[in-house]
A and B are shown apart, each in its own frame.
Chain A
Amino acid sequence: MKARIVVTLKNGVLDPQGKAIEGALGHLGFDGVGSVRQGKVFDVELHGTDGESAQAQLDAMCDKLLANPVIENYTVEIA
Chain B
Amino acid sequence: MKTAVVLLPGLNRDRDMIAALTAITGRAPRTVWQTETTIPDVDLIVIPGGFSFGDYLRCGAIAARAPAMRAVAEAAARGVPVLGVCNGFQILCEAGLLPGALMRNNTLRFVCREVKLEVVTAATRFTGNYTDGQIIRCPVAHHDGNYFADDETLARLDGENRVVFRYAEGTNPNGAIRDIAGIVNTDGNILGMMPHPENLIEPEHGGTDGRAIFESALGITSRLAA
Q: Which residues of A line the B interface, CB within 8 A?
A: 13-14, 16-17, 20, 64-66, 68, 70-71
Task: Please measure, in the bound complex, the distance between the C-alpha atom of A17 and the C-alpha atom of B65, giving whole angstroms.
Answer: 26
Question: Which B residues from 115 to 151 make CB contacts under 8 A with A?
Answer: 146, 148-150
Residues of B within 8 A of A13 (CB): 103, 148
- Is the beta-carbon distance between B57 and A70 smaller than 8 angstroms? no
Given contacts A16-B104, A16-B105, A70 and B58 within 8 Å (CB-CB) = no
Name B108's contact: one of A17, A65, A70, A71 (CB within 8 Å). Answer: A17
Measured between beta carbons, the chain B residues less than 8 angstroms from A17 are 104, 108
Interfacial residues, chain B to chain A (CB-CB below 8 A):
57-58, 61, 65, 93-94, 99-101, 103-108, 146, 148-150, 175
Q: Which of A13, A20, A64, A65 has the most CB of B within 10 A?
A: A65
- Cβ 8 A contact of A14, one of B94, B106, B149: B106
B interface SS class: loop
Determine the distance from Cα of A68 to Cα of B62 in the docked complex, in whole angstroms.
Answer: 12
CA distance A64 to B57 in the complex (A): 13
Q: A65-B57, A65-B61, A65-B65 are in contact. Are A71 and B148 (CB under 8 A)?
A: yes
Q: For the complex, what is the distance from the CA of A71 to the CA of B144, rounded to whole Å? A: 14
CB pair B104–A68 under 8 Å, yes or no, is no
Given contacts A14-B103, A16-B105, A16-B108, contact A68 B150 (CB under 8 A): no
Check B57 against A71 for contact (C-beta < 8 Å): no
B150 CB contact (under 8 Å) in A14, A16, A20, A70: A70
B contact residues around A20 at 8 Å (CB): 108
Can you name 13 extra interface pairs (CB under 8 A) apart from A16-B104, A66-B57? A13-B148, A14-B103, A14-B146, A14-B175, A16-B107, A16-B146, A16-B175, A17-B104, A17-B108, A70-B99, A70-B100, A70-B101, A70-B150
Contact between chains at B61 and A68 (CB < 8 Å)? yes
Q: Given known contacts A14-B103, A14-B175, is B108 in contact with A68 (CB within 8 Å)? A: no
Q: Known: A14-B175, A65-B61, A65-B65. Contact between A70 and B148, CB under 8 A?
A: yes
Distance in angstroms between the alpha carbons of A70 and B94 in the assembled complex: 10
Which one of B57, B65, B100, B175 has the greatest number of beta carbons of chain A within 10 Å?
A: B57
